[in-house]
Amino acid sequence: MRITVVNGPNLNMLGKRESGFYGTFTLADLEKAILDHVKGRAEVAFYQSNHEGEIITYLQNLGENDRLILNAASLTHTSIGIRDALNATKVPFVEVHISNVYAREEFRQKSYLSDIARGVIAGLGADGYLAAADYFIRNQK
């Protein structure tokens, strides 16, 4: 099993943007925390893009042994294309948000992905990714 972590637009700016919502950790810090947490219990791959089409292409190339932790960031609230790619590949995924999207602007409270996700984790910071990884490790089907 491979756990693939996909992060969307602006998450490459972690540590530099809105620390009240996103904390002070960087994307590299997040990836290291996930690798340290998984500790060989699964293979881990990371991908980040600011471009919707690149994310869609990446998702289309995931394999049947992939389990996906997806933080589509702002594309969560706008991208039917990402939803369609997830439906086409049928890769099991957990939707993760660093901030509590339900305590933010109203437009962030609508997700095009939640109803097809195995689960949604919002507001736990980096710990949300770790919880999603644990879920897939415990439930490898």
Active site residue 97: yes
Residue ranges for the known binding site for substrate are 71, 77, 84, 98-99, 108
Long-range pairs for 115-123 at CB < 8 Å and ≥24 separation? 116/83, 116/86, 116/87, 117/70, 117/93, 118/92, 118/93, 118/94, 119/94, 119/95, 120/94, 120/95, 120/96, 121/94, 121/95, 121/96, 121/97, 122/96, 122/97, 123/97, 123/98, 123/99
Residue ranges for the known binding site are 71, 77, 84, 98-99, 108
Q: Which of 22, 58, 112, 135 is catalytic?
A: 22
Cα three-residue angle 120-126-129, rounded to 5 degrees: 45
Active site residue 22: yes
What is the distance, to the nearest Å, from the Cα of residue 97 to the centroid of all Cα atoms in its chain?
A: 7
Q: Which of 37, 47, 58, 97 is catalytic?
A: 97
Catalytic residue positions, numbered = 22, 97
